[in-house]
Amino acid sequence: MRRAVVLLLAMVAAALGGATQPEPHEAPAPDPLARWSEALAALDPAKPGAYFELGERIADRADHPLHTQTARTLFVLAFELDRTARQSQGWAASACLALADLESLSRDRQWLLAVARAMDRSGGTAPAAIEPQPPLQTSFLAATALGLARSGEGDQARRLLARDDVRGLLGSYERLLSPLGYAGGLTALEARLRDWPCRECGNQRFVKKASGGQTTARLCGTCGGNPGPTLTPEQRAAHLRFESLLLRGIHRSWSAQIIADTGVPLRDLDPEQLAPTFRVDPAKRYWRSGEWTDQP
């Protein structure tokens, strides 16, 4: 009995002793940017090239998501510091190319490459100076020609395409006619126009037939009452999107057409949109205590 009591007391003491032992302290996770902290803190906004070069070094040795994120931030800051400098040294275009290398989506890469080309030509000037806009009247007539082609009004569309200014404008952006269903560009568009107006009803949508002294009307058997080429929903959307570009719609720069794609909203080649796109605050260009700040 005594032995059982002693054993029970020993077990209770062991349990109490185990409950009072402190849990082992977990070591803090290593800082992924520790090896870059000194170089980051040494960056000088007067030297955008240093931001770009450090971004390249981090991107080349990236083995953590935070490395890639930091490299992107450095490229964006290099872009902003160079384009807003009194005299650009060409780092803005290089930063766009570096950002494009880090992108997985084709449309994002195309946009960045287009911005790089624009910055390379303009030396960092405003978007309006990137590429002159065509006259609004010419753009309107070109959009009208596309609308007429879509509705089967071939004669009227051909008259507009016979104008040198309209033909020249559509010819300049001929590759964008392919998503509209005209794989051969302007030549294919004109070939399709020869099929319209409807040869049976002349785009009246119905035909009349006299029989037994009475005249009856029936739906046109050729166009089915809906003259014009048969378009898929994607082709119709492409038509309307291209017309929006021609009319300038919500786009501030004609250069935005360069990066047109199938169904994806077009993005303007405005340099000021690059930093917000990557959620980078250009004012926070100093690395202090493990984060970006606007305080030197």
Predicted model pTM: 0.47
Instruction: Please list, residue by residue across 73-95, b when 16 or more beta carbons sit within 10 angstroms of its beta carbon and e when fewer do.
Output: bbbbbbbbbbbeeeebeebbbbb
Q: Taking Cα atoms as reference points, which of 117, 107, 125, 149 lies closest to residue 246?
A: 149
> Contact, 102 vs 78, CB < 8 A?
no
> Contact, 292 vs 284, CB < 8 A?
yes
Residue 239 Cα distances to 11, 85, 248, angstroms: 83, 41, 14
In DSSP notation, 143-201 reads: HHHHHHHHTT-HHHHHHHHTSHHHHHHHHHTGGGGGGGT-TTTHHHHHHHHTT-S-TTT
**pLDDT tens digits, residue range 190-228?**
888 888 999 889 889 888 888 777 888 889 988 988 898
pLDDT band at 1 (very low <50, low <70, confident <90, very high): low
Chain centre to alpha carbon of residue 173 = 18
Q: Answer whether the bond into residue 45 is a cis peptide, omega within 30°.
A: no
The rounded distance, in Å, linking the Cα atoms of 270 and 112 is 11
Please give the pLDDT value at position 263. 45
**pLDDT tens digits, residue range 71-84?**
999 999 999 999 88
- Name which of 25-34, 101-110, 153-162 the model is least confident about: 25-34
Residue boundaries of the structural domains of the chain: 35-131+275-293, 136-247
Average pLDDT over residues 14-35: 63
When the pLDDT of each residue in the chain is averaged and rounded to a whole number, the result is 79
